[in-house]
Structure 1
Amino acid sequence: MDKHTAQSRVQELQELLNRYNYEYHVMDTPSVSDAEYDALLRELVDLEGQFPEFKTVDSPTQRVGGTILDAFDKVEHRTPMLSLGNAFSEQDLRDFDRRVKQVVGNDVSYVCEMKIDGLAVSLRYQEGIFAQGATRGDGSIGEDITENLKTIRSIPLRLTNVLDIEVRGEAFMPKKSFEALNEIRHANDEMLFANPRNAAAGSLRQLDPKLAAKRNLDIYVYSIADLGETGVTSHSEGLDLLDKLGFKTNPERRKCGSIEEVISFVEGWVEKRPKLAYDIDGIVIKVDSLEQQSQLGFTAKSPRWAIAYKFPAEEVVTKLIDIELSVGRTGVVTPTAILEPVKVAGTTVQRASLHNEDLIREKDIKIGDFVVVKKAGDIIPEVVNVLVERRTGEEQTFNMPTECPECDSELVRLEEEVALRCINPMCPAQIREGLIHFVSRTAMNIDGLGEKVIAQLFQEKLITNVADIYKLRKDQLIQLERMGEKSADNLISAIQASKQNSLEKLLFGLGIRHVGAKAAKTLAQQFETMEKLLKVTTEELIAINEIGEKMADSIVTYFSAPEVSELIEELRSLGVNLEYKGPKLVNADEIDSYFAGKTVVLTGKLEILSRNDAKSEIEALGGKVTGSVSKSTDLVIAGEAAGSKLDKATELGIEVWDEERLIQELKK
């Protein structure tokens, strides 16, 4: 076959197979048999092998899995992937509705969608071609799993329109695929996956995409991360646009005009969910209007315009055979129920939290009792109550110890606390748990340094504080169980990479009492360097809105300790970054700029500046850049092919600039 004929046939086969794939995996209306599809695919594989210059990135042959990866690269999300707040009752939904209406008024509609129990992913397209896919990670930074996502046949490799767009979706394993996978694993005497969610996550984090390709995963796309110039004004319109672009969206969705309709929809699916071909653990409810979403805004962790209703937890009966104690990084001693293994909501449960001594007394829990167990929000197992009528008299009363189970120090109960606490700063359990917290995803995010590895390193006395992590050598690591040379190399690389983290990651990782991830970010933005924080005063801290007296006292006490100063100096000498790298805080009142205190919307294609550059420049001058035009908008920057946002700005009488005027103002 000559080159011209081969090129024509390759293009024809690619278009045919992409269409057949869409019909089968997205529309569920196949027009050819599996045998015909497979024969055409084999022909395309052969032709692309003979003429590799005609193979394209959106070819159907790219779905079979590429080369084995060494590791997953980190990906910074351009738009954060936030989690949702939860609702567990009808009253929680009504409270959500009330909060929404307090801000946007009574004229509000909602969209209800299935909450798929899978793995949240982000898909980025450039000029209509699938360019990159990533996991959610910590919401800000995920992992590049592009090659594995290409193996999901319901993800289009080319869109119906040539455009740049980033979308979010939930990758999952259908129930049939899960059952088939576990049958194969059972036959091969391999450990079974506990549930489809774990199986999906494990499949997408395979370094060999060919293994991911065999798992038969699926996806539902549920939102557009950056609406850009799509002209979309509501979430429901966005879903319709996703359909037109070739994405697979969940048809089991409904637009509701009232919270009563939302509650009715939710109640209907409580009973119907077992009939679905995939697992769901709730219903997601979103405000439909994008302008109203913009008005409602976000908290540090989640949007105020959406909530996830979690289905009532499944309850089962099992026997409580013992109570174990664990010491956390803050010294709190927590009792945990050890149970006879039992299936709850698709997973085997052997442990459940008992929280504290008061709860054990309140529920009259004894070792040997038959107890009712549920998963709170389908996640955390907990003991609901005791079946007193099944007692035999052989049950044993449990008494909390007076000494720490790890270091034998006296346990104390601080004022206004129900928990018993070990206050020995050298308690090995607290040090070990603090190390685990330091390397966790929301802190320094050192991939490969999990709980088991930390426990081994601590036991072998290779690490005794967080600074020791940065002194680890390859020859020390390869002595650990299940640690080969490549794993050790990857871990050393991850440790080195974490040195470049911005200050807030380190602050959160240090485990300062009362300082969570949000407060750590606030501290880093306000003071910018660790040097300033080491000298901070309570008065300076209390002057910050987000920081109260209790947190301020805790921060000052922590940084005034001589051993903390020594630790910080050691981290500095080891090359750990001690400065804030994120966007600086801007006080609009102190900036002599046209943009100070103004709300700006960017629309259309800018020729000289990128949208992100324009946004950064405006925000650096005290402006606030939002995604939709409303009465509160002060200025609209309109580039080429500006659409509905420009029309709305004109209708509302809002000032409009072109890019040239913007650049002139930025230069002043």
Structure 2
Amino acid sequence: MPARERALALRAEIEEHNHRYYVLDAPLLSDAEYDCLFRELQALEAAHPELVSADSPTQRVGAAPLPEFAAVVHATPMLSLNNAFDDAEVTAFDRRVGEGLAIHGDLDYSAEPKFDGLAVSLTYQNGILLRGATRGDGATGEDVTANLRTLRSIPLHLQGSGWPTLLEVRGEVLLWRSDFERLNSQQREKGEKAFVNPRNAAAGSLRQLDPRITATRPLRFFAYGIGLAAGTSLPATHSALLDRLAEWGFPVAPERRRVKGLAGLLGYYAHIGGQRALLPYDIDGVVYKLDDLAAQEHLGFASRAPRFAIAHKFPAEEALTELLGISIQVGRTGALTPVARLVPVFVGGVTVSNATLHNEEEVRRKDLRIGDTVVVRRAGDVIPEIVRVQWEKRPTGAPEFNMPTSCPVCASKVVRNTDEAVARCSGGIYCPAQRKQALLHFASRRAMDIEGLGEKLVEQLVDSDIVRTPADLYRLGLLALANLERMADKSASNLLSAIEQSKQTTLARFIYALGIRNVGETTARDLARHFGNLDRLLAADEADLLRVPDVGPIVARSIRQFSGEPHNLEVIEQLRAAGVVWRDVEVLASTASNNTGKVFVLTGALPTLTREAATQMIEAAGGKVSSSVSKKTDFVVAGAEAGSKLEKARSLGVTVIDEAQLLGLLSVAQPVQ
């Protein structure tokens, strides 16, 4: 398969698993399987830099913030770490660091346990806790200040002296194993659902809308670094910085060590691995960081991860169990995924009872039969993988698995393209399984951005036959919503308001919201810019589509298949009739010469435009969007509650404009259908 098409396929698969893990809390992959896919995409993009795009999973971290919490933009991104899985990869990391610094000989590193919890940031002003936030997608997190204040391990006022006037501390929220067992015992006594593992319990506890619930959960915090410090000098090394954080009242890992060279790294890994079961909390590896902070800054970052640090993961854990059966799950795009149903087995710290099998070929390759005794591996995730079958224990006459020829949800025909390993339901939005996921995608933040339309509500709307297509959302009334479970008049009114607001969108967002297979955010933007309006896109043949940058045969065929389905065109017309409109991309493109190279900075909440929509419009008009204000900034676009960026713009004499002035500057026409 050509590199571009393989990259598109990998991105689609990784994003599907990201959605299941971070949004639906229903993962189907182990960490090891996910890491394998991610590393393949990383290698592909490294070999072909022209394939790297802003919406690639390698360019972002983590998950998007929940709409129930206010958004917090991190002063500096909370990036994740690259992973090493064996000594050779750690050796390569140590060599790269030495080469990057032009140093021959052993380097000093800070080595620490890799906590298995939820990453957060804590901002202190003049020593007082000002704000706490989750990592979110790395750039923007969720404001969970009220919840974090309930953690007794987090100082509300810094101790000691010499702390910065403004300090952002980063660390991990987690549960000790003993606390987790007590919490689950309490959950069962109350007849409530038990948590799967300590990490799941910590994340669920911290993201409660009611801080009083969080206060009842025995959450703990460990600091492992800072994101920002102003008003004082800091130590020269990371290990000394951790000591300073301890002096200011923050818990830090007592197992941390300063080690020298590759031997020190591998020795620490072996030591912590031997102590792992004795620790009071879960870890899934260790973290190595170059100790010299000035050298860290010199090495900098590569895309989504720092060059000066790496996570050395522990090997997967294995156990034996029995394969009871294989069921089928139907995804948003109609993909049929076989799922192994297992006799529950305790492995890797949790009890697991199912595992993904990816596709029919995977089942055939491993020669799985119902009743087989199988080796199950878990590598820090909820869902394990089946590694192999113990042939000698296979029962006589164990039946083979056969992929169904009709969808188990809607009975539509199951089809499989010759160039794909995945079988799909042909029912489209007619299929309730696809309908629910299609509606969730349509309403998602980067699509139509309908706040409050979550999974539980979509399930009720679909199961009650109130909503069949996205167009039905715009016909909802207050009475129908208020009668649903957990929907009071105010909640229903808020949702209707969000639906009404979503009618004003952009062409790129609308294309992305349609859920065309293989069409991500970047491709949707490219299509919007190339064709200018939706009708030309829908009328385009494959030859026309292949003229769009980065659109290959697979994407072109997916678009043609979508636009060739009469029911899809009917839904689009219904959406237009319901009043969904977008701004004319052609007008934006025609103004590019006036704004080419202009640098814009967005701050605060704009009256009608989301941050993503404003960014897209500026870029379509030839401008650039920066995250920080400098003398090179041409315009700062300020909305409600604009903060330090607005103040800096005024101090530098940068022109400050509002949303109306931005639209005028870009010569944006009235919304069109």
Give the TM-score category using the shorter length: 0.5 to 0.7
**Alpha-carbon separation, structure 2, partners of 1:188 and 1:144:** 29
Aligned counterpart in structure 2 of residue 419 of structure 1, from 412, 419, 422: 422
State how 1:15-30 maps to structure 2 within 5 Å. none
| C-alpha displacement of 1:307 | 3.4
- Which of 318, 325, 334 is 1:331 aligned to? 334
How far apart, in 1, do the equivalents of 2:262 and 2:543 lie? 45
Q: Structure 1 residues 125, 661: CA separation in 2 closer, same or farther (over 3 Å shift)?
A: closer
Q: How does 1:88-99 map to 2 (within 5 A)?
A: 88-97=85-94
The question of whether the paired residues in 1 share the 8 Å contact of 2:516 and 2:559 is answered with no
* Letter aligned with residue 216 of structure 1: P
Residue by residue, what CA displacement relative to the aligned partner does 1:217-258 show, whole Å, maximum 9, x if unpaired?
A: 210122222345654565445434433433222232234443
Conservation of the 8 A alpha-carbon contact between 1:72 and 1:144: yes
Alignment of 1:208 onto 2:205: no
Q: 1:210 to 1:500 in 2, by over 3 A?
A: farther
- 2:141 aligns to what? 142
1:277-288 alignment runs, 5 A limit: 277-288=280-291
After superposition, give the CA deviation of every residue in 1:278-337 in whole Å (9 maximum; x if it has no partner). Answer: 1212223334445545644242x5445443333222222222111111222233221111
- Structure 1 residues 137 and 503, CA gap change in structure 2 (3 angstroms): farther
Looking at structure 1, the residues matched to 306 and 524 of structure 2 have their Cα atoms a distance apart, in angstroms, of 18
Name 1:321's counterpart in structure 2: 324
Alignment of 1:86-235 (within 5 A): 86-97=83-94, 105=102, 110-159=109-158, 160=161, 161=163, 163-228=165-230, 231-232=233-234, 235=238
1:360 aligned counterpart, secondary structure? helix
Q: 1:162 to 1:294 in 2, by over 3 A?
A: closer
Distance (whole Å) between structure 2 residues aligned to residue 317 and residue 251 of structure 1: 35
Shift of 1:133: 1.3
- 1:115 aligned partner, one-letter code: K
Give the Å deviation of 1:199: 2.2
Matches within 5 A, 1:258-657: 258-288=261-291, 289=293, 292-293=296-297, 295-299=299-303, 301-428=304-431, 429-439=433-443, 449-485=453-489, 488=492, 491-492=495-496, 509-516=513-520, 519=522, 523=526, 534=537, 547=550, 549-550=552-553, 553=556, 557=560, 574=579, 591=597, 615-618=628-631, 620=633
Rg larger in structure: 1
Name the SS for the 1:367 alignment partner.
Answer: coil
- SS of the residue aligned with 1:615? coil
Q: For 1:253, which of 251, 256, 259 is the aligned residue? A: 256
Indicate if the aligned counterparts of 2:519 and 2:555 stay in contact, CA closer than 8 A: no
**Contact 1:529 / 1:578 at 8 angstroms: preserved in 2?**
no
**Structure 1 counterpart of 2:145, one-letter code:** T
Could you list the runs of 5+ residues in structure 2 that have no partner in the other structure? 1-66, 600-624, 636-647, 657-673
Query: Mean alpha-carbon deviation: is it higher for 263-272 or for 487-496?
Result: 487-496
Q: How far off is 1:149 after superposition?
A: 0.8
Correspondence for 1:12: none
Q: Single out whichever of 441-450 and 218-227 deviates more from structure 2.
A: 441-450
- When residues 339 and 378 of structure 1 are mapped into structure 2, their CA distance, relative to the original with a 3 A threshold, is same
User: Residues 136-173 of structure 1, C-alpha deviation per residue, up to 9 Å, x if partnerless?
Assistant: 33334433221111111121212243612222221112
Q: The residue matched to 2:629 in structure 1 has which SS?
A: helix
CA distance in 1 between counterparts of 2:529 and 2:633 reads 15
Identify the residue that residue 79 of structure 1 maps to in structure 2. 76
**Aligned twin of 1:629:** none
Separation (CA, whole Å) in 2 of partners of 1:543 and 1:331: 26
1-structure distance, mates of 2:655, 2:445: 41
**Residues 567 and 315 of structure 1, relative CA distance in 2, 3 Å threshold:** same
Equivalent position amino acid for 1:361 in 2 = R
CA contact (8 A) 1:403 1:410 kept: yes
Alpha-carbon RMSD: 4.5
Secondary structure of the structure 2 residue equivalent to 1:468: helix
Q: Tell me the amino acid that sits aligned with residue 73 of structure 1.
A: A
* Contact in 1 for aligned 2:318/2:378 (Cα 8 Å): yes
Provide closer, same or farther for how the CA distance between residues 570 and 80 of structure 1 changes in structure 2, counting only shifts above 3 A.
farther
Cα distance, 1:514 vs structure 2: 3.0
SS of the aligned residue for 1:124 comes to strand
Structure 1 residue 386 displacement after superposition: 1.6
Q: Distance in 2 between matches of 1:120 and 1:401?
A: 42
Describe the shift of the 1:173–1:564 C-alpha distance in structure 2 as closer, same or farther (beyond 3 A).
same
Higher mean C-alpha displacement, 182-191 vs 99-108 = 99-108
Deviations 1:89-139 (CA, angstroms, capped at 9, x unpaired) = 334434544565665555665433222122222222223221111223333
Deviation at 1:260, TM superposition (A): 4.0
Change (3 A) 1:541 1:149: farther
The one-letter amino acid of 2:434's match is Q
One-letter amino acid matched to 1:511? G
- Equivalent pairs: percent with the same residue? 43
Q: Secondary structure at the match of 2:472?
A: helix
Residues 542 and 552, structure 1, Cα contact 8 Å, conserved in 2: no
Query: What SS is found at the alignment partner of 1:396?
Result: coil
Residue aligned with 1:616, SS: coil
Count, aligned residues: 537
Structure 1 unaligned spans of 5+? 1-69, 594-611, 623-657
Worse-superposed segment, 612-621 or 256-265: 612-621
| Distance of 1:78 and 1:100 partners within structure 2 | 26
CA distance in 2, matches of 1:294, 1:560: 50
1:125 touches 1:166 (CA, 8 Å); kept in 2? Answer: yes
Quick one: structure 1 residues 85 and 592, their matched pair in 2 at CA, closer, same or farther if it must change by over 3 Å? closer
Distance 1:284 1:253 in 2: 10
**TM-score of the two chains, using structure 2 as the length reference:** 0.67
* Structure 2 CA distance for aligned equivalents of residues 443 and 325 of structure 1: 28
User: How big is the shift at 1:385?
Assistant: 1.5
Q: Is the 8 A contact 2:516 2:562 kept in 1?
A: no
* Contact persistence 2:286–2:313 (CA under 8 A): yes
**Residues 324 and 187 (structure 1 numbering): CA distance in 2 closer, same or farther, change over 3 Å?**
closer
Q: Is the 8 A contact 2:299 2:307 kept in 1?
A: no
Q: How far apart are the structure 2 equivalents of 1:230 and 1:501?
A: 45
For 1:380, what is the secondary structure of its paired residue? coil
